[in-house]
Structure 1
Amino acid sequence: MALTMPDAMVRRLVLFLTLLVHVARGQVSYSIPEEMEKGSIVGNIAQDLGLDLQRLKSGKARIYSRDSTEYIELNRNTGSLLSREKMDRESLCAKTTPCALHIQMIMENPMEFYTITIEITDINDNAPSFQRKEFRFEISESAAAGAGFMLGRAFDPDVGTHALQRYSLKPTDRFRLELHNQADGSKNVEMILQNPLDRESQSSLILLLEAFGGGDPVLSGTVQIHITVLDINDNAPVFTQKIYKTTITENATKGTILTMVSASDTDEGSNSVVTYYISDTVEKNVAEIFLINEKSGELILNGLVDYEKVSHYEINIQAKDQGGLSNACKVIIDVLDINDNSPMISLLSISNSVSEDSTPGTVVAMMKVDDTDSGVNGQIHCTINDNIPFALISSSSNFISLRIEQQLDRERDAEYNISVTCSDQGVPALFSSASLSLQISDVNDNAPVFEKSHYEACVVENNTPGLSIFTVKASDADWNQNARVSYILEDSTVNGVSVSSYVSVHPDSGLITAVHSFDYEQLKDFHFRVKAQDGGSPPLSSNATVKITIQDQNDNTPQVLYPVQTGASVVAEIVPRAADVGYLVTKVVAVDVDSGQNAWLSYKLHKVTDRALFEVGLQNGEIRTVRQVTDKDAVKQKLTVVVEDNGQPSRSAVVSINVAVADSFPEVLSEFTDFTHEKQYNDSLTFYLILALTVVSLLFIVSITLIISVKIYRWRQNKLFYKSGANLPVIPYYPPVYADGTLQHVYNYEMCGTTDSRMSDMKFIRPYSQNTLVSQSRLGTVQREKKEQEVDDLTLEVRPCLIKCFIKQNIKTTCIYISQNISQNVLSLVSKYEAINKNQSSKYER
C-alpha cells in the first residue's frame, strides 16, 4: 500500500525541517530521508563549513567516495550538496542502523579535505513480505492443544517504527500466533494449536497469515498456510543444542564441513525420522554459501567467504519429522581474516607542477591508502624514494599527503619522479606502489649577469647617425620568460642633455648605436649605464657601466683671432722707415679647436707686395722685417698669411694685413685718403663715438688701478705663490707649442700685443673651476688664505675687454685683454674693437 502524494510530501518536508547538521574539526553530518528526488538539496556545505564560494571554485572542490558510488554531487556555484539519484536505504544498508554514506570533499590550492557523513533515514516504503509463497503443514490429529508450528517470519526492509510490528492469523478458532524473541532482536512466528484437530471432521485447513509494518498508513503482507491433518504423531524433534558456534578462515575451500547439528524424535517408525534444512534468514545469499545434509545434519561450505564483506553469519536450522513436527536451532559462524588484500593507493589529487619558491610544508599530492584486511594485516606503512626534497605525512583515516621537505631549485632539478610504496604488516607482507611525476616550475629568482661590469669603446667623431658601436651581453640562469633579457638605457645626463640623445640600446640584442654624429670639440667622452632586465614578474635586473671615448678628426679650420678681418677696416700696421732688421710688425694669432696634431698650426706668407721685406715665424706667427726699409719701398704694403694645421688632410685659413711704411701719420693718411674721406658721419654718430671712448677710457683707468693693486700684492706674496704653484710664470711671447696642440677651451688667456714683440705679453690663467685656495691652504695660515682668495676673486672679476688705442711717436699700440672662452667670446670682443676702428677717422679729423 503506497503513500499518497500529499502525505509523502508532508513527511519529507518535516524531515527536511528537522535536518540535523553537525560541523566540528572539518567534519559535517547531515540526515536525509531515503527516496529523495534526484537533484534534492542535502545541505549547503559552504555555509556549514564557513567556506567562500570562490574558494570552492578556485580549489576545484569535488566529492570522493570510497566505493566510487556517486550518490551525492556538489554544486560549486551555490555550495549545495545535491542527490544524483534516488537512494534506497534498504539496498544500501539493509538492516544496519544507522545507515550512513561516508564521503569526502577535496579541494586544491591549497589541498584540503573534509569528511561528510550523510545519514539516510528510513521511510515507510516497503510492506512486510514472506519469502515463501505459502506454508504447508501436516499436523497429526493427535496434536494436543498448545502444539507449536514454526512459520518463520516476515521480512520488512524498513527499520525503526516502520519495521515489522505485528502478525495476525485468520481464522483464529483453531490456531493462535506466538512470537519468540531471537538473540539478534528478531521475532520468530509460531503457530500454536488451540484446539485439537479432528481429521475425520476436517482433513485440511487454509489459514491466512498477515504481517503488519509500522508507519502511517500501515503496510502489510500475507501468506497462506495450508494444513493437512495426519494421523497421530505427537512428538517433535529436539536439538541437542539451541545454539551452535564455529569458525572458518576466509580462504577455506568449498566442501569444508563447518559443524554438525543433531535433533532426536522419541516417536517410533517413520514419525521418528528427522529431516534438516536451513530456514529463512535475513541474508539472502546464505543458502548459496552453506548447505546442510538433510539426513546427517552436517553444515557444509558451498561457496567462498570473504571477511572483508561479511565477517559473521547466523544460520537458522530446522529439524522436522515425518509427522510434521519441527524444532529449530541457530548456528553462529565467525569468519577469520587472513592477509589476502594488498594496500590500495588512491590518488586523490596531485599538482602536476609546483613552483620552485614553494615553502617547505606545501602539499603537492594527496592520497588515500586502504587495506580491507583487519588487525595487523590492515596496518599500512608507506615510503618514498630517497634523496628527494619531499616527505610523506600520514593523517587520520589513512589519508597521506606528499609535502615539500626542503627548498626547491629548478636550476638544479627541473623534474622529480616519485615512487610511493605502501606495505601492510601481514605475514607475508603485501605491498603496492604508485609513481608520481612532478614538474618544478620556474620562479624569477636569478637576475641577469653581464659578461663584464665595465665596457669601453671608441668612436671617431663625425660618425654617421645609427652607427653600431658595440654590443653588451647578459645571461640569465632562469627559464623561458624569466630568462628573456631586455636591455634598457638608464636615464642620465651628459653635459645637461639626456644620454638617450647620444646613444640607444637595442632591447633584445644589446647593440649600442649612436643616435647622432659626435663632435670631439664638444664632447670627448661620456659614461652611461645599461640595465639588463629579465621578463619575470617582478623583473630582476643588473647594471653595467659603459664608457664611450670620442676620437678627434681634423674637421675644424684654424680661426684667426688677430688681426681681426673685416671688409670695412682701414687700419694698417705702421712700420717706420728707420726700423731695424727683425722689427716686429705685428703678430698673427690663430687657434684650432681640434686636438693633438690636428691643432698644431704653422704660418706662411702667401702673397706680399715685396717678399724680400717681410717674413712670418713658422710657429709663432710673428711678422718681422728681414732687411732695412728703403725709400724705394712702397708706403702701402699688403701681406697675405696662410695659417695651416697639421691634420690629414690639413685645413687652412687666410688673413690679409695692411702695412704702412711711413715716418709720419699724415703720410699714412695721404696713402689711405680714399678710406678717410669717403665716409661722412652725422652728429649723432659723433656723439656715440665720444660716449664710447669716454666709457672705454673710464673702464681702462679703473682696470689699470685694480691691476696695479693686484700686482703690488702679488709681488709681496711672490715666494708663497711660486711655492704653491698657484700662478704660472708670465711668458713673453705667444706660446708656439701647446700641451695638446692648441689653446684649450676651458682656460682664460690674457694677451697684450704691440708692434714690438719685446713689449708683448701673454699670461696663462687657471680655469675657473680650480681654487687656488686649496693649494695655498697647505702652506699658509687661514688669514693668508683669506687674503689670497680676495685677491684672486678680484682678479677674476676684472674680465671685460679693455681696449685703448693711442698714437705716440707715430707708433700705434693696441692692447687687447681677452678673457673667458677664447673660441666662443673672442670674436665678440674683437667686433667691439673693430667698431671703434671704424670711427677712428672722426677722431683724426678732430
Structure 2
Amino acid sequence: SSAQQQREREWWIGVFLLLSHLCFSLGEVLDGQIRYSVPEEMRKGVFVGDVAKDLGLDVRRLVAGRARLVIDDEIKYVTLNPNKGHIVVDERIDREKLCAKKSPCSFSLEIVLEDPLELFPITIEVQDVNDHAPVFPKKEIHLDISESTAVGTAFLLDSASDPDVGINSLQSYALKANEHFILKQRARPDGSKYAEIVLHKALDREKQSEHALVLSAVDGGEPQMSGTVKIQVSVLDANDNAPVFTQRLYKASVLENVLRGAIILRVSAVDADQGYNGNVTYYFTHLEEDSSFPFEINPFTGEIKLTGELDYELLSSYEINIQEKDPWGLVGHSKLIIDILDVNDNSPVITMASYSGKISEDSPPGTVVALISVQDKDSGKNGQVRVAIEENLPFSIKSTLRNYYTLVTEQILDREINSKYNITLTAVDEAFQALSSKKSFVLEITDVNDNAPAFGQNVYTTHVMENNSPGVTLLQVQATDPDQGQNAHLSYFLVENEINGNPVSKYFSIKPESGTIQSLYSFDYEQTKEFRLQVKAVDGGSPPLSSNTTVIIKVQDQNDNPPQVLYPVQTAGSVVAEMVPRSADVGYLVTKVVAVDVDSGQNAWLSYKLQKATDRALFEVGSQNGEIRTVRQVTEKDLLKQRLTVIVEDNGQPSRSATVIVNVAVADSFPEVLSEFSDFPHDKDYNDNLTFYLVLALAVVSFLFITCLVVIISVKIYRWKQSRILYHSSLPVIPYYPPRYSDTLGTGTLPHTYNYEVCRTTDSRKSDCKFGRAGSQNVLIMDPSSTGTMQRMQSEKSILDEPDSPLEVTNYMQIIFIFVFLFFSLWGIYIFFLLGLDCKWSCWTAK
C-alpha cells in the first residue's frame, strides 16, 4: 500500500541521513576556510558543526563577541548557537531549490565577532537525499509507428526527470514485457540517460493497430523510487525514412534583459522522404504540462522564441531536448543549450551585519560603530561595489574583507552637543552604467554620567500647622540632571541627623521617586517650633553623583491648649474660701484668679468673666487681670456663704476656656466661717457609691440565704428517703442518728449560739455595736455501751415507720431551727456591714 511504501521510504531516508551525518558532519579546514556537510531536508535544530572547536575558539569568546552568522541569501538555512558554539539547521534545506542540478551544492556564510572584529568564512555543502521519484513529463506517451518499420528500429521516448543528483538521480528504465518491443537505455555526452524502445518483432496493423506499453524509471537511492508512464503505440502505414536534425547539439547565448518575443534560435531537420511523408514538426520533449518554461518552439519553422523573463541570478543556463517527427511517426532528437548573459540590473544591497544603533559618548576615536555588508547579485565588474559616507560627519568607512566594511569614529563624541547622527551610506557598482543604492540610519549617542543633580533652590521653606495628621504632605523638592536615561533618574533621600535627640526618620519621610516630604509625627508648637532637614538627590549613574539642599519646616501655633488656672487651687474633698469682712468698702480686693495659656500670640491672650454668682450685684471680675472685687458696700443682709464661678477664655479661633469656683465667706471671724462651712453638703459621688454598695450587699445576703435553704431541704429529704429504704429492707440495721448529733462516743455538741446588741442613735455617725458572749451549750450524751442496742434500734425503726413519729417531728424542729439561725446570722452580717460603712463615713466627715 502507499502508506507502507511511505513508511519504508521514510525509514531508508532516516538511515541515509544518519550515515550522511556520521560521514559529513565533521568540519575540515581547507585553505583557511571551514567546510561542513549536511544532508538536505534536515529538521530544525539538527547539529551541523562545532565552529568553536574547529576554529579553536572559546565559547566565552563567542558570547562576549556577540557572534552571529552573516548569510548572503535571504533565506537563513542555518543559525548559530553562541552558548555552545554549534551551527544548527534553522530552516529546512531543499537542495533542488537551492542548486537545481548543480553538484556539489553549497552556500557560503561568515561568522562575525566583535571587540575585536573578526570574520571567519564557512562553506556548508548540502548533501542530496533521495526525496524525489523520477517523473515523466506527460502522463501518457503516444507513438505512431509505421507497420513497415524494420525490426530493430529504435524510438526515442520522453526522458523522466529527477531533481536529485548523483546516485539518487535517475539510473535506469524498465519496460513491461511485451511481444513486439524491447527497451534500450542510452547515455548522452553529459551523462544524462534516456530510453528507446526497439522494435523486436515486425508490426502488422491488420492484426493489431494499437499497442499499450508501460515504461518505468528508477533512481538509485535507498530506498529506490520510481515513476511510470503509459506508452500508447498506434501502428501506421509504411514510412521508411525518419527526419534528422542538422546538428546533434545546438548552443545559443542571450542577455538576461532581452524582451519577450525575441527569436533566440532556429533549428532544422531533413527528411529523405518526399511529399507528405517529408513534412517535419518540432517540439520540446522534457516539459511538463504546467511548466512555466520561458521558451516556445514553432512546430513548423523550428524557431525558438522567448515567452517569459530571464534572470541570470536565478538561472544562468537552460538545457532543452528537441524532437522532430514526420507525419508517419518517425522521429529524430537533439539538444539545445541556452546561456544567459549577465546585465547590470541589480543595485547594490546594503545590510547592517552588526549594528547596535548606539555608542557611548566617551568612546575613543577608532571605535567600530557598525559592520556593513554590501552585496551585488551581478557578476564581474557589475558586482564590484564602492561604499562612501557623507562628509562633515565624525565617522569614516574602512574596508576589511570582501564585501564588508566597518564604520568607525574619527573623534570624541559629546552627547550634550549632538545626541544623535543621521548617517547615509552610498554604495555604487563599477559597471559602465553604474547603479547605486543608499542606506540611512540613526546613531544615538548614549549618555555618560558626568553631571551631578542640581536643586532649583539652595533652601526650601514651608509651614505646617501644629497637631497635623501624620502622613500629611509638607512640600516637594525637585532637582534636575542634564544627563539622560538612568543617569538622569533621580532618587531623593533624607540625610541622617538628629532632631531633639531622635533620628530625623522618626519625624519625616521622603518619597524617593518624587521628592515629596511627608510628616510621620504630629507636631507640637510648644515643644518644637522649627525643623531643619538635609535632602540628598542621587542619580542612577555608575558611579552615582549627588547634591544636597536644606529644607526648613516651621511649625505654626494652633489654639490647642485651654487656659490653666494656677490660683485658686481646685482640690477635691476640701473647701477653700476667701474671707470678706462685713466692713469691706466698694472695690475691696477679694482675691485674684491667676491663669496661664501655653499657646502663643493671640491664642494666649486671656480674658476673665463672672459666669455665675450667689449675688451678682456684690462682686465683679476684672476682664484683663482676673481680680475679684466688691462692687458695693457689704451689708448684714448679705449671705455668709457666697459661691462664684469665673470663666477664663483665650482669644483663639475657636476660643478655649476653663472655669474656677471661688468660695467667699462674708464674716468677721474665722470660727464663724469654720462652723458654717462644716455643713457643706457631702460629695454626691460618695453617696451614690454608698447606695450602690448597700444594694449589692442586700442582694448577696438574700442570694446566700435562699441557696442554703434549698441545699438543706434537699439533703434532709434525701436522708429521710434513704432511712425509709434501709429500715424496710432485710439488711442488718445500722443505727441512725439525726444530723448534728454526736457520734457513738458521745463527744458531739450542738452549734454555739451568739447574742449581740445593736445600739443606734439618731445620728448614724455616733452609733455603736456591742457583742455578747457565747450562749450556753446543750450537750446530748449517748450511751456508749452496747446493751439494749438492738432493742433501741428496733424501737427507733418502729418510730420511723410511724407517719408522725416523735423522731420525725424532732428533725423538723431541727430544720426550722437551722433556717432561723442562718437567717439571723446573714442579716447580722448585713447590719455589721452597714454599720461599718456608716462609721467610715462619719470618720471622713469628721475630718
TM-score (norm 1): 0.50
CA shift at 1:390, angstroms? 2.0
Deviates more, 1:233-242 or 1:20-29: 20-29
Superposition RMSD on alpha carbons, in Å? 3.7
Q: Match of 2:309, SS?
A: coil
Q: Contact 2:12–2:222 (CA<8 Å) still a contact in 1?
A: no
Deviates more, 1:413-422 or 1:353-362: 353-362
In the alignment, structure 1 residue 278 sits paired with structure 2 residue 284: yes
Which of 338, 342, 349 is residue 333 of structure 1 equivalent to? Answer: 338
**Where in structure 2 are the equivalents of 1:250-261 lying within 5 Å?**
250-261=256-267
Which of 212, 220, 245 is residue 218 of structure 2 equivalent to? Answer: 212
CA distance in 2, matches of 1:480, 1:84: 37
Residue aligning to 1:803: none
In the alignment, structure 1 residue 115 sits paired with structure 2 residue 121: yes
**Where in structure 2 are the equivalents of 1:368-379 lying within 5 Å?**
368-379=373-384
CA distance in 2, matches of 1:133, 1:240: 30
CA shift at 1:99, angstroms? 2.0
Q: Contact 1:26–1:49 (CA<8 Å) still a contact in 2?
A: no
Amino acid at match of 1:266: A
Which digits, 9 at most, give the CA deviation of each residue in 1:585-628, with x for residues without a partner? xxxxxxxxxxxxxxxxxxxxxxxxxxxxxxxxxxxxxxxxxxxx
Which of 350, 353, 372 is residue 348 of structure 1 equivalent to? Answer: 353
CA distance in 2, matches of 1:365, 1:101: 25
CA distance in 2, matches of 1:42, 1:369: 27
Structure 1, unaligned runs of 5 or more: 449-474, 486-532, 542-846
**CA 1:483–1:169: 2 relative to 1, 3 Å:** closer
Amino acid at match of 2:135: S
Q: Contact 2:280–2:324 (CA<8 Å) still a contact in 1?
A: yes
Residue aligning to 1:320: 325
Residue aligning to 1:265: 271
Residue aligning to 2:235: 229
Which of 200, 205, 216 is residue 199 of structure 1 equivalent to? Answer: 205
Q: Match of 2:293, SS?
A: helix
TM-score (norm 2): 0.50
CA distance in 1, matches of 2:540, 2:177: 95
CA distance in 1, matches of 2:279, 2:81: 66
Residue aligning to 1:29: 35
Which of 366, 380, 386 is residue 385 of structure 2 equivalent to? Answer: 380
Which digits, 9 at most, give the CA deviation of each residue in 1:661-699, with x for residues without a partner? xxxxxxxxxxxxxxxxxxxxxxxxxxxxxxxxxxxxxxx
Structure 2, unaligned runs of 5 or more: 454-479, 491-537, 547-847
CA distance in 2, matches of 1:243, 1:89: 28
Which digits, 9 at most, give the CA deviation of each residue in 1:726-755, with x for residues without a partner? xxxxxxxxxxxxxxxxxxxxxxxxxxxxxx
Amino acid at match of 1:373: D
Q: Match of 2:97, SS?
A: helix
CA shift at 1:426, angstroms? 2.1
CA shift at 1:424, angstroms? 1.3
Amino acid at match of 1:403: V
Q: Match of 2:73, SS?
A: coil
Amino acid at match of 1:325: L
Amino acid at match of 2:257: N
CA distance in 2, matches of 1:484, 1:93: 56
In the alignment, structure 1 residue 91 sits paired with structure 2 residue 97: yes
**CA 1:478–1:227: 2 relative to 1, 3 Å:** closer
**Where in structure 2 are the equivalents of 1:173-572 lying within 5 Å?**
173-280=179-286, 288-410=293-415, 413-443=418-448
Residue aligning to 1:823: none
**Where in structure 2 are the equivalents of 1:721-732 lying within 5 Å?**
none
Q: Match of 1:31, SS?
A: strand
Which digits, 9 at most, give the CA deviation of each residue in 1:180-202, with x for residues without a partner? 33343312222222333222333
Amino acid at match of 1:333: I
Amino acid at match of 1:164: L
Q: Match of 1:96, SS?
A: coil
**CA 1:336–1:70: 2 relative to 1, 3 Å:** closer
CA distance in 2, matches of 1:253, 1:481: 61
CA distance in 2, matches of 1:188, 1:237: 19
CA shift at 1:536, angstroms? 7.3
**CA 1:284–1:78: 2 relative to 1, 3 Å:** farther
Which of 152, 160, 178 is residue 158 of structure 2 equivalent to? Answer: 152
**CA 1:272–1:355: 2 relative to 1, 3 Å:** same
CA distance in 1, matches of 2:289, 2:327: 27
Q: Contact 1:206–1:226 (CA<8 Å) still a contact in 2?
A: yes
**CA 1:353–1:38: 2 relative to 1, 3 Å:** closer
Q: Contact 2:146–2:236 (CA<8 Å) still a contact in 1?
A: yes
Q: Match of 2:157, SS?
A: strand
Q: Contact 1:423–1:431 (CA<8 Å) still a contact in 2?
A: yes
Q: Match of 2:206, SS?
A: coil
CA distance in 1, matches of 2:329, 2:489: 96
Q: Match of 1:152, SS?
A: coil
Q: Contact 1:199–1:229 (CA<8 Å) still a contact in 2?
A: yes
**Where in structure 2 are the equivalents of 1:727-766 lying within 5 Å?**
none
Amino acid at match of 2:429: D
Q: Match of 2:182, SS?
A: strand
Which digits, 9 at most, give the CA deviation of each residue in 1:533-582, with x for residues without a partner? 999767999xxxxxxxxxxxxxxxxxxxxxxxxxxxxxxxxxxxxxxxxx
CA distance in 2, matches of 1:139, 1:481: 89
Residue aligning to 1:168: 174
CA distance in 1, matches of 2:78, 2:485: 43
**CA 1:37–1:149: 2 relative to 1, 3 Å:** same
Residue aligning to 1:530: none
In the alignment, structure 1 residue 13 sits paired with structure 2 residue 22: no
**CA 1:27–1:414: 2 relative to 1, 3 Å:** farther
Which digits, 9 at most, give the CA deviation of each residue in 1:626-668, with x for residues without a partner? xxxxxxxxxxxxxxxxxxxxxxxxxxxxxxxxxxxxxxxxxxx
Q: Contact 2:137–2:289 (CA<8 Å) still a contact in 1?
A: no
Q: Match of 1:288, SS?
A: coil
**CA 1:172–1:396: 2 relative to 1, 3 Å:** farther
CA shift at 1:300, angstroms? 0.9
CA shift at 1:13, angstroms? 2.6
Residue aligning to 1:729: none
Which digits, 9 at most, give the CA deviation of each residue in 1:422-451, with x for residues without a partner? 111223221111123223345578999xxx
Q: Contact 1:278–1:287 (CA<8 Å) still a contact in 2?
A: no
CA distance in 2, matches of 1:71, 1:58: 24
Which digits, 9 at most, give the CA deviation of each residue in 1:305-333, with x for residues without a partner? 11222222222211100110111122222
CA distance in 1, matches of 2:10, 2:418: 66
CA distance in 2, matches of 1:64, 1:483: 37
Amino acid at match of 1:341: N
Which of 83, 101, 106 is residue 100 of structure 1 equivalent to? Answer: 106
Residue aligning to 1:71: 77
In the alignment, structure 1 residue 38 sits paired with structure 2 residue 44: yes
CA distance in 2, matches of 1:222, 1:267: 34
CA distance in 2, matches of 1:210, 1:29: 38
CA shift at 1:412, angstroms? 5.8
CA distance in 2, matches of 1:337, 1:71: 27
Q: Contact 1:444–1:482 (CA<8 Å) still a contact in 2?
A: yes
Residue aligning to 1:821: none
Q: Match of 2:87, SS?
A: strand
Q: Match of 2:441, SS?
A: strand
CA distance in 2, matches of 1:112, 1:183: 46
